[in-house]
Structure 1
C-alpha cells in the first residue's frame, strides 16, 4: 500500500511537471502593411532578453526581418482595410488556420487613406473582428494599437487629420471592449512617434520606428503571454492531479483485492 501511494504521488508530480512545461503561447500580429515590418523582430528580441521564450508568432505570411531565430510569421496584409476584413471574413480563415492565444492588432490606416471610411464604420468593423477573435477563443488576449502618425509633407491633410480623429476614437473604444475573460489592452504607438524621422516614407516605420513600436508592445505582450501560460498551467495541473489521483486510487483498490485473495 505504501509503495503504491508513493508511486502514485511520484506519477502525479512527474505528469504535472511534463504538462506545466507545455505552455507555448501563440501570438498573431494582425493588420495591414505596418504589421509586416520588423518591429516584430525587435519585440521578439526584447521578450527573449527578458526571459520570455515560450511564445510562437503565427500567421499565413512570412517576413524577411534579419537576426537569428526571428519568427517571421504574421497576418499583416499590405493595403488591407478593417472594413474589408469585417465584410469578407478574412480573419476567420486565419484564426482557423493558426489559432492564436494573443492577437496584436494595428489596423485602420488604409480605411482612412484609401477607403476614406467614416470613423463609425471603422469602429463597427473592429466590433466584428473582436467578435470573430472571441468566437475562436473566448479567452483571447487582445493588444489593440492606435495608428502611427502620417507625415503631412507626404500625405494629404485630410488623411493626417483622419488618423488623429480615428485615434481619438480608438482611445475610448479599445478600453470599453475589454472584458475580464478577454481583456483588450490599448497601446499608444502614436505618442512619441515622429512621422518624419521614424518612417521610411512618412507612414511605415524605419529602424528607429520599429524600435519605438517594439518598446510600446513589449510589456503588454509579456503580460498577455504570462496570463495565458499561467491559465494553462492551472487548468492542466488540475486535470493531471485528478487523473493521477484516480489512477493511484485504482491501484490501491487493485492491490487490496490481490491481498484479500492471498
Structure 2
C-alpha cells in the first residue's frame, strides 16, 4: 500500500509538472530581431491567448524605445552578426546551452548579403548547420524560419530574393516529423522603403507586419511543442 501510494504521488507530481511546464521560445537572428519592436507586438498579441505564459528566452534584453514596459524582452538577436559566422563559430550552441528552447524563430542572412556579399549556397549551408545545432540542443525543436524582409538601400534585393527562393526547398529537405520547420514569408507584403525606418530595420508599421506574419506559424509551433510535453503524461 505504501509503495502504491508513493507511485501515485510520483505520477501526480510528474503529471502536474508536465501540465504546468512553460514553453520556452527563442527569437533568434541579427539586428532585425534585436533592435526592433516586432517582439513587443508579438508578445502583446499572445497575451489574449492560451500562450500568454510562453517564456521568451535569450541572453539579450535590449530596450528599443518600443514604449512598452511590460513585454518579455529576452531574445537572441545580435546586431551585425552573420549567419555563416554564428554557425561556424558555434555561437548558437552556447546560447542554447544557457537558454534552452522548445521553439525558435530565425530571421538571418541580411548581414551575410550586405556586409560580405556571401552566396546563397554558403548562407543555406550555414542554415543547415544552425538547424543541426538547434536539434542537438533539443531533438524536438520546433523551428520557424523567415524569408527575410526586403532592403530599402543599395541593390541587394536580388540577392535577398535568391536567398528567399532557396529557403522553402531547403526547409522541406530539412524537415522532420519530430522537429518540423515552418517557413514564413516576411518579404512579399513588406516594403523596403515605407516599412523600414532606415532601409534595413522595420519601422512601427513594419514591426506590425512582421509580428502578424510570425504569429500563425508560431501558434502551430507552440501547439506542437505543447503536444510533446503532454506525451510525458
Q: TM exceeds 0.5?
A: yes
1:191 corresponds in structure 2 to 188
What SS is found at the alignment partner of 1:41?
A: helix
What SS is found at the alignment partner of 1:190?
A: coil
How many angstroms does 1:51 deviate by?
Answer: 2.8
Instruction: Give the structure with higher Rg (CA).
Output: 1
1:163 corresponds in structure 2 to 160
Q: Where do 1:73-152 residues align within 5 Å?
A: 73-151=74-152
Matched, 1:52 2:51: yes
Q: Where do 1:56-71 residues align within 5 Å?
A: 56-64=55-63, 65-71=66-72
1-side partners of 2:70 and 2:95: how far apart?
A: 23
1:72 corresponds in structure 2 to 73
How many angstroms does 1:176 deviate by?
Answer: 2.2
Contact 1:82 1:111 in 2 (8 A): yes
2-side partners of 1:14 and 1:119: how far apart?
A: 51
1-side partners of 2:17 and 2:76: how far apart?
A: 29
Number of aligned positions between the proteins:
230
1-side partners of 2:68 and 2:128: how far apart?
A: 36
How many angstroms does 1:68 deviate by?
Answer: 4.4
What SS is found at the alignment partner of 1:49?
A: coil
Residue-by-residue CA offset, 1:41-94 (whole Å, 9 max, x unaligned): 111111112231231111111121432430001111001101111121111110
Matching residue within 207, 210, 215 for 2:212: 215
Q: Where do 1:231-242 residues align within 5 Å?
A: 231-235=228-232, 237=233
Contact 1:47 1:222 in 2 (8 A): no
Distance 1:53-1:162 versus aligned 2 partners, 3 A rule = same
2-side partners of 1:75 and 1:19: how far apart?
A: 27
Return structure 1 stretches of 4+ with deviation > 3 angstroms.
7-17
Contact 1:23 1:54 in 2 (8 A): no
2:176 corresponds in structure 1 to 179
1:24 corresponds in structure 2 to 22
**Aligned Cα root-mean-square deviation (Å):** 2.1
What SS is found at the alignment partner of 1:103?
A: strand
1-side partners of 2:37 and 2:120: how far apart?
A: 28
Contact 1:109 1:147 in 2 (8 A): yes
Matched, 1:201 2:198: yes
How many angstroms does 1:168 deviate by?
Answer: 1.1
1-side partners of 2:90 and 2:220: how far apart?
A: 29
How many angstroms does 1:115 deviate by?
Answer: 1.2
Unpaired runs of 5+ residues, structure 2, are none
What SS is found at the alignment partner of 1:105?
A: strand
2-side partners of 1:59 and 1:10: how far apart?
A: 36
How many angstroms does 1:175 deviate by?
Answer: 2.5
TM norm structure 2: 0.91
2:38 corresponds in structure 1 to 39
